[in-house]
Chain A
Amino acid sequence: MKVRRFLGAAALAIVAGAAQAASYPEPLANEPIPNVVELSAQYPASWVYVHDLHFNSLPDGRAAIVDVAADVRAFKGQVPVAQFGTLLPSTTRPEIYVAETFFSRMTRGERTDVITIWDKATLKPKGEIVLPGGKRGQFVTLRNSFQLTNGEKWALLFNFTPASSVSVIDIDARKILNEIDLPGCSLVYPTGPRGFTSLCADGTMTSIELDTAGKVAASSTSKPINDIDHDPMFMTPAMVGKTAWFATFKGNIHGLDLANAKARDLGVFQMPKEKTAEGEWRPGGWQVISADAAGRLYVLMNPAGKEGSHKDGGSEVWVVDPARKQRVARIPLQNPAVSVEVTAQSAPLLVASRSDGSLDVYDATSGAFQRTLAQVVHDPMTMTASR
């Protein structure tokens, strides 16, 4: 019975197949194996690196490379970023640098800290710089733990053991030039042609100028500029040229001019203070501020702002013109967001990452919602637009 039914079905399939083949005289072409996609060495400005902290499996962090202007095939590829790692794309070379940590038996064994150099076109590793001492700082990803200076020829890496220091690394020579102890200070904000500024626990900032060998040529510490107790600066600024614009917990915007060897405080201006039924509008999320190429700032805002709300995400983006010190637009989001990033396109796109790992994309100029890119990563903490 079963055999007869099978034969009947097979006969039907043959008849149907013959009829369909008449419509398509040629079969599909054979396809080569192996076959692996390559990317262009220069990424379009609509591409964004979306770092996945992967909190449910921290040794296996990664970053997705996504075309946020595309509805189809938006997900371009992936780069591993292991164990609280930080990803840093070069803007001058076809390379992506990843500072990360491995253990020889994944969750145990010998620790290796390393900067892995990835080829943008093939997304294959093309080199590495091993970092001795097991010092690389591990915390929920902040872009300013790993930055470039000296015309992008050197990398600056923040170490935390919990003693703070910064390693100066020559990317071409694949070697560490110097390690600068920075007690009480955190992270690196590239400053001047060759150097950096760190923010310190006493509210000051310290600027370090480096000589051509990577040694400390000069250092200076400011008076306190960061009211850490009452209104601290979020650690990730929006960069407009060499000006860093930081949002603060209570909704102020704080500028630092990093163009010259010594950082200059540009002071603070207020965004509008607006009370709500749940508290007040305050910045909220992880990466809460970004900038477009025209220098406008985009700040992720939470309507239930209060002490302790600073990581709760946001439901609106406020657009601020720092030259006029004014809010120029409000963009209500389709879904609550964790982090925001704006592309460097002439018609910029605003990307809002969601806690489920999806991205919502908006026309940054009009605020119009464009698309959702689903299932991009697990935990989209930081995003870096291609430049």
Chain B
Amino acid sequence: MSDMDSFAERAVRRVARRTSRRSLLTLIGGAITGAAVIPVLPVSRAVASTHGGGKSGLPPQTTGNPQDPGDQTQCDYWRYCAIDGFLCSCCGGTASACPPGTEMSPITWIGTCLNPADGRSYIISYNDCCGKSSCGRCLCNRNESDRPMVRPQSNNDINWCLGTESGSVYNCSTAVILGTALESK
């Protein structure tokens, strides 16, 4: 164990030396607040398939609020700009609530999405809903700025239900507004 500890210490120091402060903060922040990411079926939108980005085939589900426009069952809804997984809107939940009986992961991947109605950029938290098996509806997979597992805080292939009490079984993904971003894009 002692050699493990000393190795870990050396490794931490090495990483700290080599990582810029900002990226280190991102890494730590991700680990604490929960960087998260949503499991995803990484198959193609453009070429290989109808998975993860095609039309859901469901009737439109809107908020009724003109300031929050779009269909929450479709992958192109504005809040889903960095989402990956089954849309909870199609699974008994909403864009910001988990389906009954599931547990919302405290760990989330944060994205910044532009609301086309008010022109503001919002910080969106992609919390997973956990504890029941895969919902199976409205799979949505967007990979812009996604990076491989080498950088977990930027990777959307990870099952972040690992942060829940009920275990790590993944059901669906939400897109919760946390606030406005400081700068509009």
Q: Is the CB of B7 within 8 A of A139?
A: no
Interface size on B, residues (CB 8 A): 61
Residue of B nearest to A234 (CB): B148
Given A162-B162, A336-B47, A286 contacting B132 (CB threshold 8 A)? no
Given A103-B167, A139-B158, A163-B31, A311 contacting B43 (CB threshold 8 A)? yes
Distance in Å: Cβ of B135 to nearest Cβ of chain A: 9
Q: Which residues of B contact A216 (CB under 8 A)?
A: 3-4, 7
Q: Is the CB of B159 within 8 A of A235?
A: no
CA of A274 to CA of B41, assembled, Å: 28
List residues 86-139 of chain B with CB under 8 A from any CB of chain A: 107, 131-134, 136, 139
Q: Is the CB of A111 within 8 A of B168?
A: yes
Given A138-B168, A202-B15, A84 contacting B44 (CB threshold 8 A)? no
Residue of B nearest to A110 (CB): B167
Partner-contacting stretch, out of A26-34, A87-95, A176-184, A253-261: A176-184
- Residue B182 interfacial (CB < 8 Å): no
Interface size on A, residues (CB 8 A): 78
- Residue B72 interfacial (CB < 8 Å): no
Q: Which of B19, B23, B46, B158 contacts A312 (CB 8 A)?
A: B46
- Residue B170 interfacial (CB < 8 Å): yes
List residues 333-368 of chain A with CB under 8 A from any CB of chain B: 336-338, 354-356
- Residue A23 interfacial (CB < 8 Å): no
Residue of A nearest to B168 (CB): A138
Q: Which of B107, B150, B167 contacts A200 (CB 8 A)?
A: B150
Q: Is the CB of A201 within 8 A of B152?
A: yes
Q: Which residues of A contact B162 (CB under 8 A)?
A: 138, 160-162
Q: Which residues of A contact B27 (CB under 8 A)?
A: 184, 201
- Residue A381 interfacial (CB < 8 Å): yes
- Residue B149 interfacial (CB < 8 Å): yes
Q: Which residues of A contact B14 (CB under 8 A)?
A: 206, 221
Q: Is the CB of A183 within 8 A of B166?
A: no
Q: Which residues of B contact A355 (CB under 8 A)?
A: 43-44, 48-51
Given A56-B134, A308-B142, A336-B48, A101 contacting B4 (CB threshold 8 A)? no
CA of A184 to CA of B154, assembled, Å: 13
Q: Which of B5, B46, B51 contacts A302 (CB 8 A)?
A: B46
Q: Which of A308, A312, A356 contacts B47 (CB 8 A)?
A: A312
Residue of B nearest to A164 (CB): B152
- Residue B75 interfacial (CB < 8 Å): no
Residue in A101, A139, A302, A356 whose Cβ sees the most chain B Cβ within 10 Å: A139
Residue in A58, A162, A215, A314 whose Cβ sees the most chain B Cβ within 10 Å: A162
Residue of A nearest to B6 (CB): A216
Q: Is the CB of B48 within 8 A of A313?
A: yes
Q: Which of A56, A140, A142 contacts B40 (CB 8 A)?
A: A140
Q: Which residues of A contact B169 (CB under 8 A)?
A: 58-59, 83, 103, 107-108
Q: Is the CB of B4 within 8 A of A178?
A: yes
Q: Which of B11, B51, B136, B158 contacts A206 (CB 8 A)?
A: B11
CA of A354 to CA of B50, assembled, Å: 11
Mark each residue of chain B from 146 to 166: 1 if its CB lies under 8 Å from any CB of chain A, else 0.
111111111101110010001
- Residue A251 interfacial (CB < 8 Å): no
- Residue B141 interfacial (CB < 8 Å): yes
Residue of A nearest to B161 (CB): A138
Distance in Å: Cβ of A316 to nearest Cβ of chain B: 10
Residue of A nearest to B48 (CB): A313
Q: Which 4 A-B pairs have the closest CB atoms?
A: A313-B48, A355-B49, A313-B44, A181-B8
Chain B residues engaging chain A, CB cutoff 8 angstroms = 3-5, 7-8, 10-12, 14-15, 18-19, 23, 27, 30-31, 35, 39-51, 107, 131-134, 136, 139, 141-155, 157-159, 162, 166-170
10 contacts between A and B (CB under 8 A): A111-B167, A160-B162, A183-B15, A200-B150, A202-B23, A285-B44, A312-B45, A312-B48, A315-B47, A337-B48
Given contacts A183-B11, A235-B150, 6 further A-B contacts (CB under 8 A): A107-B169, A139-B149, A162-B35, A183-B8, A302-B47, A338-B49
